């Protein structure tokens, strides 16, 4: 089994790599930071395993890099789209360059990799895709508008593709992970301080893979995050937006 993980150098991506390496899978670990990737590879190789590990230092905000990645590694059995970052602040004061890079990473890269690997998996009649979104994908996002919108795209794209696969009775499966705050380097990149307790990335990863392997489509760890998603369906969007604004403002 060959597993390709983007955003693999830290956080959830790193934990996913540990889990699949322990399962005897060959890994393709993709991230920008080559030093962190090398460190993770050395750490994993301390375990006795016949699994192979390839590391790829790549900026997925560049479309051509996404396409080259697929051309280089075509026979992937499991794709985990995990690369991404956020930013916090009033929309008229945040960096446009950072937001465009965020869109390229959180949306365009996900779209390209999901589409091109799905095509390959359909040809082989086997494969699984996990798109890492966020509970933010179900909510309006004042003060993190671009990030919330990017995760909403991932949610809606995955939902649409999932229905298509069901109608075609495809053997290829797709899932989305929608966690709340997780202990990663996300908060430092996004310039936020979470008031909610951040979940342990190792526990979230274990829970996710367990549900992913069972074929669950919506993977929403922790009861309080499930509750947020449920309430968001019932409460008017204008009210949800006000609540999110008050929560987000405390992060600034």
Using CA atoms, how far residue 243 sits from 86, 142, 143, 178, in Å, is 19, 9, 12, 19
Location of structure tokens 């890099």: 65
Place of tokens 């396409």: 67
Average confidence (pLDDT) over 7-17: 96
Edge-first strand order for the sheet with 53-57 is: 53-57, 26-31, 2-6, 78-81, 128-132, 173-177, 218-219
> What pLDDT does 251 receive?
77
Residue 187: what pLDDT? Answer: 46
How would residue 248 be classed by pLDDT, with cut points 50, 70 and 90? confident
Band the pLDDT of 183: cuts 50, 70, 90: low
Q: What is the pLDDT of residues 66-95, one digit of tens each?
A: 999 999 999 999 999 999 999 999 999 999
Q: What share of the chain is helix, strand, coil (3-state, %, to 5)?
A: 50, 15, 35
Q: What is the pLDDT of residue 47?
A: 86
Structure tokens that stand for 29 in this block:
């670990």
CA distances to 30, 61, 114, 144 from 99, in Å = 21, 11, 21, 10
Q: Is 147 a catalytic residue?
A: yes
Q: What is the pLDDT of residues 25-45, one digit of tens each?
A: 999 999 999 999 999 999 999
Could you tell me the pLDDT band of residue 218, with boundaries at 50, 70 and 90?
very high
More confident residue, 209 or 194: 209
Residue 14, token pair as written in the block: 């790193």
172 conformational bin, left if phi > 0, alpha if psi -120 to 50, beta if neither: beta
Q: What's the whole-number average pLDDT of the chain?
A: 93
CA dist 187 and 169 (Å) reads 40
pTM above 0.85, yes or no: yes
pLDDT at 165 over 90: yes
202: pLDDT strictly greater than 90: yes
Burial tier of 72 (Cβ tally within 10 Å: 0-12, 13-18, 19+)? exposed
The yes-or-no verdict on residue 179 having pLDDT over 70 is: yes
Helix, strand, or coil (residue 113): helix
Spatial separation of the C-alpha atoms in residues 219 and 208, rounded to whole Å: 7
pLDDT greater than 80 at residue 114 = yes
Among the options 20, 21, 117, 147, which is catalytic? 147
Sequence-separated (6 or more) residues with CB below 8 Å from residue 211: 175, 219
Q: Are strands 128-132 and 78-81 parallel, antiparallel or unpaired?
A: parallel
Residue 35's pLDDT is what? 97
């Amino acid at each position: 089994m060959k597993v390709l993980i983007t955003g693999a150098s830290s956080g959830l991506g790193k934990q996913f790599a540990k889990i699949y390496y322990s399962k005897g899978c060959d890994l393709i670990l993709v991230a920008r930071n080559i030093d962190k990737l090398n460190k993770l590879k050395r750490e994993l190789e301390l375990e006795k395993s016949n699994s192979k590990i390839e590391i790829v230092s790549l900026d997925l905000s560049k479309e051509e890099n996404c396409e080259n990645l697929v051309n280089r590694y075509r026979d992937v059995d499991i794709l985990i789209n995990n690369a991404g970052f956020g930013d916090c602040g009033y929309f008229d004061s945040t960096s446009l360059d950072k937001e465009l890079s965020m869109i390229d990473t959180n949306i365009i890269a996900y779209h390209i990799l999901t589409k091109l690997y799905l095509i390959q998996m359909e040809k082989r009649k086997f494969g699984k895709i996990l798109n890492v979104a966020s509970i933010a994908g179900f909510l309006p996002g004042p003060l993190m508008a671009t990030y919330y919108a990017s995760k909403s795209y991932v949610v809606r794209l995955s939902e649409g593709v999932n229905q298509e696969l069901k109608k075609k009775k495809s053997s290829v499966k797709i899932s989305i992970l929608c966690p709340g705050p997780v202990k990663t380097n996300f908060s430092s990149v996004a310039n936020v301080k979470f008031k909610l307790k951040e979940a342990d990335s190792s526990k979230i990863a274990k829970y996710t893979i367990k549900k992913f392997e069972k074929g669950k489509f919506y993977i929403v760890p922790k009861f309080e995050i499930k509750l947020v998603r449920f309430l968001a369906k019932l409460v008017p969007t204008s009210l949800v937006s006000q609540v999110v604004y008050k929560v987000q403002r405390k992060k600034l």
